[in-house]
């Protein structure tokens, strides 16, 4: 079945509605990255699209000079949400470089060969496909282009992204699949990965758990604290974020979590949070790790097997 | 007490132990043996990737069904677990003990969590 959210580049037709991406940005040319401005642009596009049902919509990208490859997974969710309302979304005004990015990352159906082998194209997984996801991540990331990682760091990275997927699968409660994608940036020496779900977002679950009103950013901050979990019942939780955060602190990279109207970010050991101009339609977790990881693993005390239980 | 070895990778069907659903399969097997009064020895031979999500369901939830003293008696030291897997196991077990000892504790941590530096 073709991807319902996949948008093709097209020219405008009579009767089409045209929306401009990043229309509120003052600059003539914008770069979409994993930051507040980038997610504001996607969230505002979702807000604008939300008013339409059964419509032919053209999203105009002429202001966009750069779009981080791994963020195409986050944009794909916006298009899928629009497709759920039976809209047909097409893209126009793509600069050549942007068209390349969207083709290589499979955001649009036109394909382009990734001769540098730096792309993890977008793929959708159902929540019970953790094993398939793990194989996908291994196939696309465990390769010679990902240099200078110690074996320990490499394993830690893979387990970290498995943790993100497991958390998305456990908490999303979404009818849409989990969307993943990634990009290796050789010049920046950064390996970036995105896992996106179209679920209810963290705010509702956290507020229900705490019986208290929190902003979206506050809810993410709570959920990212080690040992905090919205899970109730027979299975404990709250460790995935601990594993991830320790990994990022050690690596010096960055983790960004966007859920509804909040953005939470940890860069190395520094944490910040922001409010978005409009709600993003789900939760996106972005992992950006440095591949120049000459950093030694922090020594940890190895537990005695006789004293585990 | 009968000793029962359980090879985690064999139960899961491979060395990738990442999903909560696979963790449930390990859990159900261990649970039955403990209920039967056996002593279970978990082997992590051939396990190449493992998440806390898997371990929470595989072993963490045992602490909601049995008291820690009983589990200490009926779970043998894990074998073939590498240092990182031992760290993960210990993390999950310690977390499970706290979780089932006081499952609403997380609520008390709330104030500290949201007081972090606003950007």
- Concatenate the DSSP letters of all residues of B15-26 into one string: SEE--HHHHHHH
In the block, residue with structure tokens 């990275």: A157
CA distance A218 to A274: 9
3-state secondary structure of A63: coil
A residues 167-226 near B, CB within 8 Å? 167, 169-170, 209-210, 212, 214, 218, 221-222, 225
Query: CB contacts < 8 Å between A and B, how many?
Result: 145
3-state secondary structure of A257: strand
Going residue by residue through chain A, which has 309 residues, state the pLDDT in tens, using 9 for 90 and above: 334 445 555 544 556 889 999 767 777 889 999 999 999 999 999 999 999 999 999 999 999 999 999 999 999 999 999 999 999 999 999 999 999 999 999 998 877 777 777 888 999 999 889 889 998 988 887 766 554 667 777 787 788 888 888 888 877 777 889 999 999 888 888 889 999 999 888 888 888 888 889 999 999 999 888 878 776 666 666 677 877 888 888 888 999 999 999 999 999 889 999 999 999 999 999 999 887 755 555 667 899 999 999
pLDDT at A163: 85
Among left, alpha and beta (phi > 0; psi -120 to 50; other), residue B67 is beta
Residue B45 distance to chain A (closest CA, Å): 14
Identify whether the C-beta of residue A259 lies closer than 8 Å to the C-beta of residue A201. Answer: yes
CA distance A72 to A31: 13
pLDDT at B1: 84
Q: CA Rg, chain B, in Å?
A: 16
Pull the structure tokens for residue A245.
């955060």
pLDDT at A14: 53
Report the chain A residue with the minimal C-alpha distance to residue B84.
A302
pLDDT at B20: 87
Residue in A115, A123, A156 with CA at minimum distance from that of residue A139: A123
In chain B, which residues have their Cβ closer than 8 Å to the Cβ of A156?
A: 84
In chain B, which residues have their Cβ closer than 8 Å to the Cβ of A271?
A: 116-117
User: Which residues of chain B are modeled with pLDDT < 70?
Assistant: 102-119
- CB–CB contact B16 A169 (8 Å): no
φ, ψ dihedrals at A174, nearest 5°: -110, 155
Pull the structure tokens for residue B97.
């003990």
Residue A134 is nearest to which of B16, B20, B98, comparing CB atoms?
B16
Query: Looking at chain B, how many residues does it have?
Result: 119
CA distances from A298 to A201, A242, A250, A271, B86 (A): 33, 15, 7, 20, 16
Residue A21 distance to chain B (closest CA, Å): 25
Pull the structure tokens for residue A91.
């893209």
Residue in A105, A236, A302, A5 with CA at minimum distance from that of residue B52: A236
Q: CA Rg, chain A, in Å?
A: 19
In chain A, which residues have their Cβ closer than 8 Å to the Cβ of B88?
A: 243
Residue A225 distance to chain B (closest CA, Å): 6
Provide the residue ranges of all domains of chain A, joining segments of one domain with +.
8-109+116-296
pLDDT at B115: 43
Provide the residue ranges of all domains of chain B, joining segments of one domain with +.
3-113
CA distance A211 to A216: 14
Residue in B49, B50, B60, B74 with CA at minimum distance from that of residue B24: B60
pLDDT at A299: 67
Buried b (16+ CB within 10 A) or exposed e, A79-90: bbbbbeeebbbb
In chain A, which residues have their Cβ closer than 8 Å to the Cβ of B56?
A: 235-237, 239
Residue B18 is nearest to which of A134, A156, A243, comparing CB atoms?
A134
pLDDT at A276: 96
Mean pLDDT value across chain B: 86
Report the chain A residue with the minimal C-alpha distance to residue B57.
A235
- CB–CB contact B52 A240 (8 Å): yes
Task: Report the CATH number of the A8-109+116-296 domain.
Answer: 3.30.565.10
Pull the structure tokens for residue A293.
């990881």
pLDDT at B116: 39
Residue A271 is nearest to which of B22, B84, B116, comparing CB atoms?
B116
């Amino acid at each position: 079945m073709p991807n319902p959210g996949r948008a093709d580049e097209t020219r405008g037709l009579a009767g089409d509605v045209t929306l401009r991406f990043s229309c509120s940005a003052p600059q003539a040319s914008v770069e979409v990255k994993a930051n507040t401005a980038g997610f504001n642009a996607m969230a505002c596009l979702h807000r604008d699209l939300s008013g339409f049902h059964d419509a032919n919509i053209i999203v105009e990208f002429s202001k966009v000079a750069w779009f981080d490859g791994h963020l195409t997974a986050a944009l794909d969710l916006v298009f899928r949400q629009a497709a759920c309302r039976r809209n047909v979304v097409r893209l126009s005004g793509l600069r050549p470089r942007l068209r390349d990015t969207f083709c290589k990352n499979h955001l649009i159906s036109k394909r382009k060969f990734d001769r540098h082998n730096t792309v993890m194209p977008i793929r959708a997984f159902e929540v019970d496909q953790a094993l398939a996801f793990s194989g996908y991540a291994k196939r696309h990331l465990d390769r010679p282009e990902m240099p200078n990682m110690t074996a320990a760091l490499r394993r830690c990275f893979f387990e970290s992204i498995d943790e993100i997927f497991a958390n998305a699968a456990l908490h999303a409660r979404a009818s849409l699949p989990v969307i993943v994608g990634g990009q290796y940036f050789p010049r920046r020496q950064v390996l970036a990965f995105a896992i996106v779900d179209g679920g209810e977002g963290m705010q509702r679950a956290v507020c229900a758990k705490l019986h208290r009103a929190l902003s979206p950013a506050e809810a993410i901050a709570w959920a990212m604290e080690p040992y905090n979990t919205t899970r109730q019942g027979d299975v404990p939780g709250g460790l995935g974020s601990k594993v991830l955060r320790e990994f990022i602190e050690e690596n010096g990279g960055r983790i960004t979590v966007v859920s509804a109207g909040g953005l939470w970010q940890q860069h190395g050991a520094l944490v910040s949070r922001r409010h978005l101009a409009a709600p993003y339609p789900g939760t996106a977790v972005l992992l950006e790790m440095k591949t120049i990881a000459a950093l030694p693993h922090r020594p940890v005390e190895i537990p005695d097997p006789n004293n585990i239980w | 007490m009968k000793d029962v070895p359980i090879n985690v990778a064999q139960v899961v069907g491979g060395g990738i132990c990442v999903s909560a659903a696979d963790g449930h399969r390990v859990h159900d097997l261990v649970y039955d043996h403990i209920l039967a009064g056996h002593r279970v020895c978990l082997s992590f031979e051939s396990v190449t990737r493992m998440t806390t999500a898997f371990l929470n369901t595989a072993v963490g939830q045992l602490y909601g069904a049995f008291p820690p003293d009983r589990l200490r008696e009926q779970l043998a030291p894990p074998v073939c677990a590498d240092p990182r897997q031992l760290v993960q196991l210990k993390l999950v077990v310690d977390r499970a003990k706290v979780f089932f000892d006081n499952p609403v504790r997380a609520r008390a941590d709330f104030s500290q969590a949201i007081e972090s530096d606003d950007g």
